[in-house]
C-alpha cells in the first residue's frame, strides 16, 4: 500500500478506488465496491499483484459456470456464491490497481477477458443443461435451439455490448478527468506498438506480447468502427486542442451532460443486471429466461445507448465545428479562384 493510502480512512480509500461518481453504479457503490475494498486491503498486506486476483476471479467464474449447468438447487446456489466471489475479485483487482498505482494495460485487458471467459462457460453450461429438456409448455426438447439462443445472447449480444459499454465509460472519463484519468486507447496506437515489438528475447514472452497487442489493436478497431460520429468529433478535438485538458468548458460540460445519463446503460450492460437475471432464472429452474432477456431487453438497451451516444457526438460536432469547417472550405475555394484569375 502506498503512503497516501496508509493515512486514509476506509471511506476515503473507497472514494479513491472509484473510477468516478458518474461511472459507478448504485449497487457497486453500496455493495460490491466496499466488499471489494476489504478484499483489496487483505491482498495488499501480502503485496499480491492485482493481476493475480484477476486470474483467481477467472477460476471462480469458471467454477460458477459449471455449477449453473446442473438443474438442482444446491449446485445453483453454489453457482451464485462463486459468481459473486468472482465479481468481488473483479472489483478488487481494479481497486488495488488504483490504490497502489499498479495499473497496466495487460491487467485491464485481462480484467475484461475474465468476464468473457466466465460468461462463455455459463452460456455453454446452460446450453448443455437445457439441450434435452422440453421447451416450456411443449414436449419438444430445446435441442439445437438453446445453443442458437445462447450464441445470439453471448457472441452477438454480450461481447459487443460489454465492449462498447467499456468504450463509452472511457470516453466519459476522458472528458471528465482528462487523459490520465481515462484508459481511452485507439487502433493506430496499439497497432504501432505491435509492429515495433522487439524481435529478440524469450520466445514465450515475444509470442505473448505479439498475440496480446494484435488482439487488443483489433478490439480497439472494432470499437472505432461502431462509433463513426465519435471518431469524427474526437479527431477534430485532438486536432484543435491536443488534449482533453484544453477543451473549452462549455463543450466539455455539454458532452458530459449528454453522456452522463448513458452511463447507467454501460453498467447495466456489463455485469450486475446480467448476474441478477441469471441468478433468478437458474434458482427458479427456468434458465432459458436468462439468454432470452439478453436477446430482447439487453439488445434494446444497447441499441438505445449506441444511437444516443452517436447522436450526441454528431450534435456537438455540428454545433461547434460544422459551420467553421464550411467557412474554411468557402475561404479556400475563394482563395483558389482568386489565384486562378490572377
pLDDT (tens digit, 9 = 90+) per residue, 42-67?
999 999 999 999 999 999 999 999 99
Residue 36 has pLDDT above 60, yes or no: yes
What pLDDT does residue 216 have? 94
Contact residues for 191 (Cβ-Cβ < 8 A; gap 6+): 213, 217
Residue 332 has pLDDT above 70, yes or no: no
Neighbours of 63 (CB within 10 A): 18
Region 74-87 average pLDDT: 97
Q: How confident is the model at residue 342 (pLDDT cuts 50, 70, 90)?
A: very low
| Percent of the chain residues topping a pLDDT of 90 | 72
| Class of residue 68 by CB neighbours under 10 A (exposed 0-12, middle 13-18, buried 19+) | buried
Cα dist from 112 to 74, 143, 218, 268, whole Å: 29, 31, 15, 15
**DSSP string over 191-225:** HHHHHTS-SSS-HHHHHHHHHHHHHHHHHHHHHHH
pTM of the predicted structure, to 2 decimals = 0.88
- C-alpha 14/C-alpha 38 separation (Å) is 10
- 47 — alpha (psi -120 to 50), left (phi > 0) or beta? left
pLDDT in tens, 160-181: 999 999 999 999 999 999 998 8
Contact residues for 71 (Cβ-Cβ < 8 A; gap 6+): 129, 285
| Torsion, Cα of 15, 21, 23, 27 (10° steps) | 70
Amino acid at each position: 500500500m502506498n503512503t497516501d493510502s496508509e493515512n486514509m480512512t476506509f471511506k476515503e480509500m473507497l472514494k479513491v478506488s472509484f473510477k468516478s461518481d458518474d461511472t459507478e453504479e448504485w449497487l457497486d457503490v453500496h455493495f460490491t465496491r466496499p466488499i471489494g475494498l476489504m478484499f483489496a486491503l487483505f491482498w495488499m498486506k501480502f503485496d499480491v499483484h492485482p493481476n493475480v486476483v484477476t486470474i483467481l476471479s477467472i477460476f471462480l467464474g469458471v467454477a460458477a459456470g459449471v455449477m449453473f449447468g446442473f438443474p438442482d438447487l444446491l449446485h445453483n446456489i453454489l453457482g451464485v456464491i462463486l459468481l459473486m466471489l468472482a465479481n468481488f475479485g473483479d472489483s478488487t483487482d481494479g481497486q488495488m490497481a488504483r490504490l497502489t498505482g499498479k495499473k497496466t494495460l495487460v491487467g485491464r485487458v485481462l480484467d475484461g477477458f475474465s468476464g468473457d471467459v466466465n460468461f462463455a462457460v455459463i452460456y455453454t453450461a446452460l446450453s448443455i443443461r437445457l439441450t434435452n429438456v422440453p421447451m416450456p409448455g411443449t414436449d419438444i426438447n430445446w435441442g439445437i435451439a438453446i445453443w442458437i439462443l445462447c450464441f445470439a445472447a453471448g457472441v452477438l449480444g454480450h461481447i459487443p455490448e460489454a465492449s462498447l459499454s467499456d468504450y463509452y465509460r472511457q470516453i466519459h472519463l476522458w472528458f471528465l478527468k482528462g487523459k490520465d484519468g481515462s484508459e481511452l486507447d485507439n487502433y493506430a496506437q496499439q497497432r504501432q506498438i505491435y509492429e515495433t515489438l522487439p524481435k529478440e528475447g524469450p520466445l514465450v514472452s515475444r509470442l505473448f506480447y505479439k498475440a496480446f497487442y494484435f488482439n487488443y489493436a483489433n478490439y480497439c478497431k472494432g470499437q472505432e468502427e461502431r462509433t463513426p460520429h465519435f471518431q469524427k468529433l474526437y479527431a477534430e478535438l485532438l486536432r484543435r486542442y491536443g488534449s482533453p485538458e484544453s477543451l473549452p468548458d462549455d463543450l466539455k460540460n455539454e458532452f458530459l451532460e449528454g453522456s452522463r445519463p448513458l452511463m447507467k446503460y454501460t453498467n447495466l450492460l456489463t455485469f450486475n443486471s446480467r448476474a441478477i437475471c441469471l441468478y433468478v432464472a437458474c434458482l427458479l429452474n427456468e434458465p432459458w429466461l436468462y439468454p432470452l432477456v439478453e436477446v430482447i431487453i439487453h439488445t434494446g438497451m444497447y441499441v438505445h445507448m449506441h444511437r444516443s451516444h452517436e447522436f450526441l457526438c454528431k450534435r456537438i460536432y455540428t454545433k461547434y465545428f460544422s459551420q467553421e469547417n464550411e467557412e474554411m472550405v468557402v475561404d479556400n475555394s475563394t482563395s483558389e479562384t482568386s489565384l486562378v484569375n490572377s
